[in-house]
Amino acid sequence: MYAKSNPSDARANNRRLLFRLLFPDRQLSRADLCKETGLSRATATDVTGEMIDDGLLRELGSGKRDGRGKPGTLLAIDTDVLRLVCIDLSRPYVMTGAVMDLRARIVERRERVLDDGDRVDLDDVLSLVGQMIRLAGSGLVGIGVAVPGVVSGAGRVISSSNLGWDDVELRDMLEGEFSLPVRVDNDANAALLADRFLGHGNPNCLLVQITRGIGASVLLNDEFVDGDDHAAGEIGHVVIDPNGPACTCGKRGCLETYVSAIALRDRIRQDPNRRADILAEAGARLGGALAMPASLLNLHDIAVYGPPDIVGETLLNACDETVNSLSRNDYQSSMRVRRCELGDDATLRGQAVSVLREIVGRRGLSAAASS
């Protein structure tokens, strides 16, 4: 059965489309936007005017004249009016909070050291969100939280072994406490959003995140692959050697035991003279694990995100060589393995992108933010 079209849905989609064309730092006239989207001039004028009133866009000076006639007024993302609050729970021993503008740039940030290693208390999350809200002041329109683990589309943390959480209704809890739209996402998904829209990513891309564990995320035609249980990308506990070292999950030879930052730093600490060999071996193992899914999905772009002491040329070159040697054929171009170069704030900035994707279709943001 087909649902009837809803004019408000079309309007929301047009707002998202125009915002995405300008994000993060393009400057286009209304005529430019019409050319790139196929929208009529009347629709573009109406929707952009509404977005200016809402604090999403602003008018700049006149652009260059293109042929005869008066040059058009340029539009850009407005970074002065509205704010987001984002929290990153993916890093060991610390929670990071930030106030962000609409270009996913950090305006204010705060960090809280975790007293109990990786374990995070929900009251501490609520407290940090509250602190960041006070720093944001007026104009706050959304909250985002990036979590290591399995997260449902409704913002429920199904499982996060690193945080010690199971079945936590985090989005509902935060929306009930702060009365603002909330996005809760897997941390690797957030990093991939940052790489896609703020870095060098493509609409079809696989990102591997190497931190305390191993996580992955996949975009196909700019849509996330979630899986039946919202657990797509949870590759850290896939066994690559049944006779390998014991893993915290109870199995042996999981990918995480070979390639996580913690495991590699421990090995390098024990044998610093073999650092290059250890990282090359890790890259080869990672490449071997990625060859099958990358070939299955016909992906040419693989990004690796992690600390620079681990994710450097030695590991990346070994991964690139292995994944291509195992998957090369006559009808498929080679895969590119590269480093995600957005630094420690990639997860925070990607979570801001996730919140923006959620809210830009809504009308009356400025009014809601000031109420």
Residue 329 lies inside a defined structural domain of this protein: yes
Average pLDDT of the chain to the nearest whole number:
91
Number of domains in the chain: 3
pLDDT class of 330 with cuts at 50, 70, 90: low
User: pLDDT > 90: what percent of the chain?
Assistant: 80
Please answer whether residues 217 and 234 qualify as being in contact, where contact means their C-beta atoms are separated by less than 8 angstroms. no
In terms of residues, how long is the chain?
A: 371
Determine contact, residues 128/120, Cβ cutoff 8 Å. no
Assess contact for 113 and 97: CB atoms under 8 A: no
Do 351 and 332 reside in the same domain of the chain?
no
CB-based contacts of 179, cutoff 8 Å, min separation 6? none
Is 365 contained in some domain?
Answer: no
For residue 234, what are the domain limits?
200-341
Task: Indicate whether 128 and 236 sit together in one domain.
Answer: no
Looking up tokens 């999905």 gives: 297
Task: Express each pLDDT in 245-265 by its tens digit.
Answer: 998 888 999 999 999 999 999
Identify whether residues 119 and 47 lie together within a single domain: no
pLDDT, tens digit (0-9, with 9 covering 90-100), for 191-202: 999 999 999 999
Among 317, 311, 354, 345, smallest CA distance to 98 is for: 345
CB atoms within 10 A of CB 336: 15
267 SS3 class: helix
Query: Can you tell me the distance from the alpha carbon of 330 to that of 300, in angstroms, rounded to the nearest whole number?
Result: 14
Tell me, yes or no, whether 137 and 253 share the same domain. Answer: no
In angstroms, what CA-CA distances link 371 with 140, 141, 221, 366?
A: 10, 11, 38, 9
* Model confidence band, residue 370 (pLDDT cutoffs 50, 70, 90): low
Looking at residue 8, its pLDDT comes to 66
Residue 367's pLDDT is 62
Tell me what pLDDT residue 1 has.
36
Q: Specify the pLDDT at position 109.
A: 96
Rounded to the nearest angstrom, the gap between the alpha carbon of residue 313 and the centroid of all alpha carbons in its chain is 23
**Which residues have a Cβ under 8 Å from the Cβ of 22 and sit 6 or more positions away?**
28, 57, 75, 76, 77
Question: Which is higher by pLDDT, 300 or 1?
Answer: 300
Integer angstrom CA distances of residue 189 from 30, 119, 222, 293: 32, 21, 12, 17
Q: What is the CATH number of the domain that holds 67?
A: 1.10.10.10
Q: Which of 48, 77, 106 is the last residue of a domain?
A: 77
Q: Are residues 211 and 293 in the same domain?
A: yes
Flag whether 2 is in a domain: no
Do residue 275 and residue 326 come from a single domain?
yes
pLDDT tens, residue by residue, 294-323:
999 999 999 999 999 999 999 999 999 999
pLDDT, one tens digit per residue, over 204-236 is 999 999 987 899 999 999 999 999 999 999 999
Do 309 and 204 lie in a common domain? yes
Residue 161 lies in a domain: yes
Residues 215 and 173 in one domain: no
Is the pLDDT reported for residue 103 higher than 70? yes
Lowest mean pLDDT among 4-13, 74-83, 180-189, 311-320: 4-13
3-state DSSP call for residue 185?
strand
Task: Report the pLDDT value the prediction gives residue 163, as an integer from 0 to 100.
Answer: 87
Domain stop point among 55, 77, 99: 77
User: Are residues 174 and 109 located together in one domain of the fold?
Assistant: yes
Q: Do residue 316 and residue 231 come from a single domain?
A: yes
Residues 281 and 214 in one domain: yes
Q: What is the CATH number of the domain that holds 162?
A: 3.30.420.40
Report yes or no on 282 lying in a domain.
yes
Which of 62, 77, 92 is the last residue in one of the domains?
77
Give just the sign of the alpha carbon dihedral 146, 17, 343, 305. positive
Nearest alpha-carbon partner for 156 in 248, 207, 226? 226
Predicted model pTM:
0.91
| 306 is a domain residue | yes
Does residue 365 register a pLDDT over 90?
no
Is 232 in the same domain as 287?
A: yes
Q: End-to-end alpha-carbon separation of the chain, Å?
A: 40
* Confidence band, pLDDT 50/70/90 cuts, at residue 238: very high
**Do strands 214-220 and 223-224 pair parallel, antiparallel, or not at all (unpaired)?**
antiparallel
| 20 lies in some domain | yes
Query: Has residue 369 been placed in a domain?
Result: no
Number of H helices and number of E strands within the chain? 12, 16
Find the helix packing angle between 275-296 and 261-270, rounded to 10°: 150
Q: Which two tokens stand for residue 26?
A: 């393009």
